[in-house]
Amino acid sequence: MIRLVYVSTCDQNVQLSDVQEILRVAETRNAEREISGMLCWSGEFFLQCLEGERGAVTQCFSQIAVDKRHHSVELIVSSPTTVRWFSTWGMGFTRLMSSNRVDLPNFAGGSFNPYLLEATDLQDTFARLSTQAQRLSFDTADQRRGNP
């Protein structure tokens, strides 16, 4: 199993509805391929983590890399792993807008540019997001069962 992280620059015409369509398709395809992950969108950039079996993740990333909704796709890290960070999500999502910032290392306001962050910082960010994702999944499951 591997974990892959990449960044890219959105096409200037990408809107929230486009991102919602990406997520809808990813949920279905990722379930079929047993891929999990998280997509972050700032309006200008995508930052994504994919995890699963090497062949499936590599094939998925190859398709993502040629998608016309973004460009300047840069692979940050692809490394073996034994633990999924986003095991309960086919594709988690967060908007990296000024009102909904993830606590990124070396980010002190201004505009978000993932190309300026170190690979370890980006991996640390996804590690923190995975903790939030797991907590959210547990909270959602509790709500479905009627627990507060």
- If one counts the domains in the chain, the total is 1
Query: Which CATH number does the domain housing residue 6 bear?
Result: 3.30.70.100
pLDDT, one tens digit per residue, over 55-79 is 999 999 999 999 999 999 999 999 9
pLDDT, one tens digit per residue, over 110-141 is 556 777 777 777 777 777 777 665 444 333 33
Tokens 């300047």 -> residue = 72
- Tell me which residue range forms the domain holding 53: 2-144
Burial class (CB in 10 A: 0-12, 13-18, 19+), 85: buried
H helix intervals, the chain: 16-33, 54-65, 119-144
The answer to pTM > 0.75 is: yes
